[in-house]
Chain A
């Protein structure tokens, strides 16, 4: 009898990172995926709330038995601070 293949976290982490970059609906390279105490924590910055939620949904679908904490933030587009004088 052949047993179920063991899931190795490092390989699945690598797959998640590649999917977040290569999935045409996501296309984000700078998202950190961190496992903590049975949960998955997402960190990074994106341009819109829609993009943040899409990443959270995609990762949740990959880890259906884990809680996903989505701490990705939407980067501010505030007015610029004072000019920096380059001398």
Chain B
């Protein structure tokens, strides 16, 4: 099969010029062990374009000040930039209002916030919470902790051998006892894109709120929270070509309003006396303390960068790359792809017969290739496939067909050594 990957494709009258995109990312010129870096670990974190780096630096260089407090010029400028970033995020996921956008440290903190605040208030003994087999530890452990505290039960939707949720099993699990559903939009280990709309619709027919972990979906799939009708959604800046340490919790205002604060401190209050404190309005109620101001501004810049290229164009290009890579590695003897769902983001997890992923990782590193090896923080999922770990190549908007070729050559070499 001949699969084409056009380095300069024309979609929706916009040209996808991968060479031009690559020149936006200074790190891609790096040499590793004397070889040109081939960065295929985008599901762990993405590289940052100069546009994001500059915007972040600009804050520190020109208007570093605390927000929401000072009347001086720098503080006002910082506040303005920080709040514009919130509006960029709001528009990006089409939230109804900017009060539904809460800045957090990342997806993990966003999920913990909901489990801790919404969960503690609403989950009672005997209640059930549904997640899926392919969750990242960050969408397992907070719910486990909540269940242990409240004597509630965690129910897990099984998956098939392709790595897809078995919807009929979800239908069987859900009941009057179910009080919350939290599932991953796209799997970091398998690449599977889950049928989230169907999952949400079924839950809503029981009046159960649904949270989506969109950490891996947000840079591949155009998300419209109103259209999806999800109740909560979490993602991180650093998987979207933005900085680490910043993330988003989206929540429907009627849920957020009824939730107690997650942390107490500055900025989240409107009036404090030693007898009583009145909490600030949304979203500030959930943003105690000085946030990662530069991070939020950087995230806003990253969204602008991605939108300028167009998420549909990126998705189209990455799908071509994934197909090309899938096809290329399937010729290798003893290679088994883990995760063969019909709908996938550009993640290629695989297992080489008789070669441990860590050995694969070390060998590829010497070819300049960065991939992730290990359990990808999804140990229950590894158990489901009866493997301790996988090797995972994940593609971003700047990867090329030639880089896939370098990966395949590296894997061929490994098979020769270990064969």
Q: Note whether A and B form a binding pair.
A: no
